[in-house]
Structure 1
Amino acid sequence: MNQPGSSLILTAPRKSLLAWGLRDGASVPLVCGKLQGIAEIKQSAQQEQTTSLRWAGGRLDLQIQGVAGQIVYSQAEGLRIGPVIGIMTTGVRRDIKKPIGGRTSLLGDFVRASRELNVLCYVFNAADVNFSAGTVSGVTMTGPPGRETWTFGRFPLPEVVYNRVPHRRAETLPDVKRCKERLERMGVPMFNERFLNKNEMYRWLSGDKRSSTYIPETERMRTADGLQRFCLKHQLIYLKPTGGSLGMGIYQVERDKQGYLVRYKREKNHVTTRFVNAEAVLQFVRRRSHPKSTYLMQQGIRMMEYQGRKTDFRVHLHKNSVGAWEAAGIGAKVAGSTSVTTHVHNGGRVVAGDKVLRAWYGERAEQMKARIVEVSIRVADVIQGLLKGESGEFGLDVALDKDGQVWVFETNAKPGRAVFRHTELIEAGKRSARMVLEYGAYLSKFPLNRGGGVDEPKRLDPHRSAR
C-alpha cells in the first residue's frame, strides 16, 4: 500500500543484481508485506554487501547483521521480500533488554526461529499500526546468531499476523479490537484469533460426534440441586471457572457417605475441607470467587499415575508448512503430592511424555502416543470451527484412564510454553516455534527457504508464481 507519490528504492550488491538479471537503474514491481509499488534498483557501493529497501516511511537493511528476510525475483511479478509475519500483542515498550516485559523470552522464541528460517518477523503493539502510512512500529532481533539484540524499527504492514495478545482482558481493549477489524477488512490472515471460554468450548465439543466420546461430561453449575445430582452421577468431579487458566480456582469434589470432600489451593497450600451437603459446597465456592464468576461441573477421570501421582499430557499441536496438524511435542504433567491439578503452577512437574508412556506401556508406547495425537487432532479439527479465521496451534490437556481411554480436559487456543522449558523438551520447543513461522509462510504463499538469516538472492522460474 505505497502512498501516492512515494517511491521505493532497493539497493543491492552487484552479485544480487546479476542473479536476478537486473541492471542498475531498472524499475521493477516490488512487494514487501503490504508495502508495494515500483522500485528503482540501485547497485550498492563496491564493498557494501547490504541489501536495503527505502520508502517514504522508513528503511529495512537485510543482511546477517540486519533483519532476516528473503528476496525472490521473477520476470512476471518482479521482486518480493518476505515472508513478513507480525506478532500482535500488547505491552511492547522501549527497552532493548526486555521489550515485551515478562513475555520477552516467550515471544523471543518465535523471533529467533524466524531468523533460522530467514523470515522477516517482528513483534508489535496493536496500538502501533499506522494504517494510512502502511507501516508498523515494532521490535525484532538483529545481529549474528547467538549474539542477537532487540532492535526497534518501522516495518511494512505484515502479510500474516500471529495473535499473541496475552489475556482475555487485553482482547477487549479498543486498540486491539480496532486493529483486528482493520486487518480483517484488508484481508490479512490472522491465526489464533482469541481465547476460548470453557463453557462454549465444552458445549461445542460435546455436541459434535467426532469429539464427544473424548470429552468428560460437563455442565454449568447453577444450583445446589444440580450440583447434588451431578455428584450422584459422578463420585469424583471438578469445579472449574469458565475463564480460568493455570489451574487457578479449581476445586476437586469427591462424594462419600459423610458428605463431600473438597480439595483446593488456598494461597500456597493445598487444603481439604469436608461439607455435609451440596448447598454448603456451592456457597463456599461462591464466597471464594469473584461475584461475576461462573463455574462448570466436570466429570472426574481416574487418570493413570506416574510414580504414584496422577498424570496427564500437554499435547502441543501446530499446523505445519503445508497446513496440516502435527504434534510438535508432548509433555507429561505429574501432579504434586496434594495438588488438585497437574499444573506446574499448583505444584506439579513436567516429564518428557515419551518417558512416561514407556514406563506405562513398554513396547506399546509409540502406539499409545499415536492414539493420543490422533484424538488430539480430531478435537482440534472440531474446535477450530468455533473460531473465526485461521487456527494455527492448540495446546490440549489429555489423559489416559486405566482402560486406555483417551480423555481431553482442555483445549487452549493460545497455549503457554512452560512445558518446553523442561530439559528433554527444549528441542520440541524450538520445533514448535519454527512451525508457527512455517505456517505463517504457508498462509502468505511465500516460497520459504530455510537459511541462517542471510537474504539469498533467488530468481524464480518465470512461469512459477512467487505468490
Structure 2
Amino acid sequence: MSQFKIPVHTVHSGILQENAIMLGDRSMKRLKIPAHGTVQLAFGSFRQEVTVIPVPKSENLRVSEGLARRIGWNPRQTLGVSYNSGNRTLRLGPLIGVLVSRDHPNNPDRLFGPITLFCRELTNACHAQGAYVYFFTPEALEQRSSSIQGWVYSEGWRKLSLPIADVINNRLTTRKMENKPSVQHFLADVKSRYGTHFFNEKFLDKTEVFEALGHDPALQRYLPESHALSGFAVLKKMCNHYPSVFLKPVRGSLGKGILRISKDEGGSYRLLSTTPLGTRKQIYPSLTKLFQSITPKMKSTRYQIQQGLPLMELGRRPVDFRALVQKNGTGKWGVTSIVARTAGSNNFVSNLARGGTLSTVREAIGKSSLPPGTKESVQLQLPRAALAIARGVETYIPAHFGELGIDLALDQSGRIWLLEVNSKPSKNDNTPLNDQKIRPSVKQMILYCRYLAGI
C-alpha cells in the first residue's frame, strides 16, 4: 500500500460530476491505480464509488464542488493519500476528530475557551502534515447520525457536517461529560461500525493507577506508599510511619483539594490545604481532632493517602517534574518533553495553576543541593522512569492512551518517585520552554493519528 501527500482542488460541478474524480497520472502511477477504473473514495466514515479520470502531467486530485461540500473539504488543501488495490479503496486523510467540552459560538476568538490556541495550532500542524481536523462537543452526539456537526478553521471558524473521524482524541475536561450516555454510546458505536480509533478514552483515578502499577515489580521502586483513605485507622498508621502524609482527591487535578498533614514537636498536628489564595495552615491538638475536621470532606470526596516525600527544593520551594509521554509515528511510547516545576512562594504544590514556575530539568537539578555524583545520572533516569510508567499504565489499565502527563519527583538523595499520572495533560502546563509556532507535542499527536489510521 503506497501513501504520500497530494494537493486536493475543487472544480465547478458543471465540469466534473460527483461520481468522478480527476487524478494526475503521476500520482496514479505512484499509487498504482488503473486508468479509467472505479475506486471507492474514503474519507473518515465517508464512502463513495467514483470513476478515476487521469490528467496528464499533473499530481493533483480534483473533485467537484458538490462532492467537496458533502465531504466538508475546503477548495484547496493537501491531504495524505493511500490506495489499497485489494479492496480498490482510495483513502484520504487522516480525518481527526477532537472531542472538547464546550464551544462558545458568540466568542469566536475564544471558541473553545482556554484551549482555543491549541486548536488553532493543531489545525495549522494538520495542514502541514496532510491531515484534516475538526472539533466537536458532546452536544453534537445527542442525535444518532453518520455525520457530525464539527468546527473547522479556514480563515475563521466554520461549523460543517463532517464524516465520523478515523481517529478521535478525547479532550473532555470532566468525568461527568465523559460518562454521559450519549458520549459512551457514540464511542462504542463508531468503534464497531467504522473501526474508529479513540485515544485517551478515560480519566485516571490516582488509586487505580498506583494499585495497577504495583503489580509490576520493576515499577514498585517508583511508588510511594499509597492507600485509599478508608477511615481513621489508615490515617493513624500512615502518620505513625512517616513525618508527613498527603491526602489527594482521587479524582482531583491542578493541585486542587490537596491536604498535607505533619506532626509538630509538641505532639500537635499541622494541616496544610491548598486555596486559591495560597496555603491555609491549621493546628490540631490530636490526630483524632484533625480527622474529625476533614470527615465532612470525605463524604463528598474520595481521598488517596500517600507517603510524604522530602522533595528536592530550590529556595525552600519543592520541585517536581512533568514528563509528557506520547505515542509516536510507529505506535511506540516516547518522551516528548520534561520540565521542572517549582512551587510558588506560598504553596506546597507546584502546579502552574497554583503559582508554580517552569524551568529546564538541567537548570533545576544544576541549582539543587543533590549530591554532585547523582546530578548527571538522574537527568538520564527521569525519562527512562517516565517511559517505564507509561508502558505500565498501558499494560495494567484496560484503556487506549496516546499521551500521558507523568509527574515525577526527586527526593533529596536523588531517588525518583511517581506522584501522579494524568490522562488529559494540559496543553499549557507541559509547554516546552521555547517559542516555536507548532510544538513538538502537537506534531507527535498527528504522527500517532496517521499511524492509527494507516494513512
Q: TM-score range by the shorter chain?
A: 0.7 to 0.9
Q: Could you say if the C-alpha distance between residues 52 and 363 of structure 1 is closer, same or farther in structure 2, counting changes exceeding 3 Å?
A: farther
**Please, which of 184, 190, 193 is the counterpart of residue 191 of structure 2?**
184
Q: Paired residue for 1:219?
A: 227
User: Counterparts of 1:21-170 in structure 2 under 5 Å?
Assistant: 26-41=37-52, 51-52=62-63, 54-55=66-67, 58-61=70-73, 65-66=76-77, 68-73=78-83, 77-94=88-105, 96-128=108-140, 134-142=146-154, 148-170=155-177
Distance verdict in 2 for CA 1:266–1:22, change over 3 Å: closer
1:274 and 1:364 mapped to 2: Cα distance? 37
Matched residue SS, 1:222: coil
State yes or no: 1:430 paired with 2:424: no
Alpha-carbon distance change, 326 to 17 in structure 1, aligned in 2, over 3 angstroms: closer
Structure 2 residue 338 is the aligned partner of structure 1 residue 330: yes
Please name the residue that 2:351 is paired with.
343
Q: Is the 8 A contact 1:420 1:426 kept in 2?
A: no
User: Which stretch of the first structure deviates more once superposed, 51-60 or 276-285?
Assistant: 51-60
Name whichever of 22-31 and 334-343 sits farther off: 22-31
Pairing 1:256-271 to 2, within 5 Å after superposition: 256-258=264-266, 259-271=268-280
SS in structure 2 opposite 1:58?
Answer: helix
Q: What does 1:280-291 align with in structure 2 at a 5 Å threshold?
A: 280-287=289-296, 289=297, 291=299
How far, CA to CA, are the matches of 1:159 and 1:9 in structure 2? 23
Q: Partner letter of residue 390 of structure 1?
A: H
Change (3 A) 1:173 1:222: same
- Normalising by structure 2, we get a TM-score of 0.84
> How does 1:438-457 map onto structure 2 within 5 Å?
438-446=447-455
- Residue matched to 2:426: 416
Q: How far 1:42 moved relative to its partner?
A: 5.7
Would you say the 8 A contact 2:249–2:301 is kept in 1? yes
What corresponds to 1:3 in structure 2? none
The alpha-carbon deviation at position 313 of structure 1 amounts to 0.3
Q: What is the CA RMSD across the aligned residues, in angstroms?
A: 3.2
User: Against the structure 1 CA distance between its residues 365 and 110, is the aligned structure 2 distance closer, same or farther, given a 3 Å change threshold?
Assistant: farther
Q: How far apart, in 2, do the equivalents of 1:55 and 1:324 lie?
A: 37
**Paired position in structure 2 for 1:272:** 281
Measured after TM superposition, the shift of residue 126 of structure 1 is 3.9
Kept in 1, the 8 Å contact 2:323–2:430? The answer is: no
Give aligned-pair identity as a percent. Answer: 22
Unaligned runs of 5+ in 2: 1-16
- Relative distance call for 1:408 and 1:22 in structure 2 (3 A) is closer
Report the alpha carbon displacement of residue 7 of structure 1 after superposing the two structures with TM: 6.5
Tell me by how many angstroms 1:342 deviates: 1.0
Deviates more, 1:14-23 or 1:409-418: 14-23
Greater shift in the superposed pair: 294-303 or 200-209: 200-209
In 2, the alpha carbon distance for the partners of 1:155 and 1:178 equals 19
Letter in 2 for 1:411: V
Conservation of the 8 A alpha-carbon contact between 2:317 and 2:348? no
More divergent stretch after superposition (363-372 vs 338-347): 363-372
> What code does the residue aligned with 1:122 have?
Y
TM-score using structure 1 length: 0.82
Residues 80-126 of structure 1, C-alpha deviations (whole Å, 9 max, x = no match): 21112211233135454333233322333322322221211211224
Equivalent position amino acid for 1:251 in 2: L
Note the 1:270-419 alignment, pairs <5 A: 270-287=279-296, 289=297, 291-360=299-368, 367-419=377-429
Residue 235 of structure 1 is aligned with which of 233, 243, 257? 243
> 1:449: which partner in 2?
none
Distance 1:363 1:116, change over 3 A: farther
- The answer to which structure, 1 or 2, has the higher relative contact order (CA under 8 A, 6+ apart) is 1
Structure 1 unaligned blocks of 5 or more: 1-5, 143-147, 447-467
- Distance in 1 (alpha carbons) for counterparts of 2:373 and 2:161: 54
Instruction: Report the secondary structure of 1:433's partner residue.
Output: helix
Conserved in 1, the CA contact under 8 Å of 2:141 and 2:183? no
Partner of 2:126, secondary structure, is helix
Q: Distance in 1 between matches of 2:150 and 2:250?
A: 33
